[in-house]
Amino acid sequence: MRGMEKVCVVGMGYVGIPVAVQFALSGFGVAGIEISQKKVELLGRGVCTIEGDEPRLAESLKDVVSKKKLVFSSDYSVCRNADAVIICVQTPFFRDGNKPDYACLKSAVESIGANLKKGALVVVESTIAPGTIDKVVKPLLEEKSGMKAGTDFYLAHCPERVMPGRLLENLNNMDRVVGGINEESTKRALAVYGKAIKAKLHPTSALVAEVVKTGENAYRNVQIGFANELALMCENLGVDAFEVRGLINTSPHRDVHMPGAGVGGHCIPKDPWLLVYGSGMEPKLIIESCRLNDSMPNHVSELIGKALAKRGRKMEGSKIAILGLAYLENSDDTRNSPSVALHGLLREKGASVSVFDPYVKSHDGIELSKTLEDAVSGADCIALMTAHSAFRNLDLKRIKGLVRTPLIMDGRNHFDNEMCKKQGFGIFGVGKKFEVD
């Protein structure tokens, strides 16, 4: 990597791998740092460890690895030559403890600090609570490096805006907020990112960047929370929430989101809590929205119980077939998946639960069916939880012959009620008319 600007990217996950690949494609010499030796070995052979549909990512990774523009290591000493170090580690949130888990972040920052070159730029892409750069990252880097932030080295927050299924595309095209601890840090971060991505860059302070990132996802959580609360009211009134949503959205400046079986992923359920934690106050709307969205899998399990009762069955001893374990369509990502929550709730109520997801091969504590047919055979209710394309145009006639009780819970407005009823299924679900006689 002689002569090229050198970048270290720490944390080879959904964020770090695309970032490392993109910077390598843009002419930087890149080292991806990862604690998992297995991942280092696989990535070092150009094997992409992210599954699901990610256009261009696997072939781009192979390309830059073969050209030695991107190497991988678990040794932080490679940071000693880096002009920039980009941190992409996970920052999970403990709801019960109501505080962020910064163990990964702190460990990465300490190791980087101990191997930081004078004049280097450190950028945190991980989503962090407002105040984290100032109170956690900066002091740790100064302590471990013995240098002064903002003058001896530079520090900025450039929050990731990745989305499974569009990792590389988003990285290149979605606007980014670039917030330095001082002007010089912002300037240097703009220069580095300006060379790697085409997206519009918005300079600001590190604190504003922290509030923007957590705020943009808190906003989405509240938007979805409104849609879910409206759906609960529509169910109660016996009207179709999706018809209501569509008609509301004919009014200007309305954008009611999609009601659904819950809100999963590594952003929307977690980031609002980071904002609340960093805000130093107890906001009401944002916290209630998180709680309402988190309650949707429970609502789904109650709907299933109600439908089973209509058919003379109890939850106990019934078999429920969950279609979709991933939190998002056409993705293998099961983090904070509402399906995992539903699986636990149904088991607690004594049901046996099968799960089929074309993208997910395994998940701790959940046995996955190999085929959809296996999952639905003998089932007393099918619960559609993820709107994978593979679940479009299911052969309901054939499925009818496999189930024990023909009931469908539609968690993602995936099915047409009339079509299901025509095939002899009782149909119900989030925001849908309860049509189980």
Contact footprint for ligand SAJ (CB under 6 A): 160-164, 216-217, 220, 224, 227, 257-258, 260, 263-265, 267-268, 327-328
For the chain, the first-to-last Cα distance in angstroms comes to: 69
**C-alpha dihedral over 334, 338, 342, 343, to 10 degrees?**
0
Is 213 an active-site residue?
yes
CB of 146 to ligand SAJ, least distance (A): 34
CA distance 401 to 30: 55
CB of 81 to ligand SAJ, least distance (A): 30
Q: 3-state SS of the chain: helix, strand, coil percent to 5? A: 40, 15, 40
Q: Which is nearer to ligand SAJ, 116 or 274 (CB)?
A: 274
CB of 40 to ligand SAJ, least distance (A): 25
CB of 268 to ligand SAJ, least distance (A): 4
Given a contact cutoff of 8 angstroms between Cβ atoms, the answer to whether 30 and 69 are in contact is: yes
Q: Which is nearer to ligand SAJ, 264 or 278 (CB)?
A: 264
Q: Which phi and psi angles does 320 have, rounded to 5°?
A: -110, 130
Q: Which is nearer to ligand SAJ, 215 or 426 (CB)?
A: 215
CA distance 436 to 309: 10
Is 361 an active-site residue?
no
Strand partners, 171: none
Give the number of other CB atoms < 10 A from CB of residue 309: 12
Q: Which is nearer to ligand SAJ, 339 or 423 (CB)?
A: 339
- 8, 267, 290, 381: the catalytic one is 267
Helix residue ranges, H only, 30-179: 37-44, 57-66, 103-113, 132, 138-145, 167-173
Strand partners, 177: 202
Kindly give the interhelix angle for 296-310 and 285-294, rounded to the nearest 10 degrees.
40
- What is the chain's Cα-based Rg? 24
Q: Which is nearer to ligand SAJ, 96 or 255 (CB)?
A: 255
CB of 159 to ligand SAJ, least distance (A): 8
Q: Which is nearer to ligand SAJ, 86 or 140 (CB)?
A: 86
**Strand pairing category for 99-100 and 352-356:** unpaired
- 6, 213, 319, 432: the catalytic one is 213
CB of 212 to ligand SAJ, least distance (A): 11
| Token duo for residue 94 | 């403990």
Residue number, nearest CB to ligand SAJ: 265
Q: Which residues are catalytic?
A: 213, 267
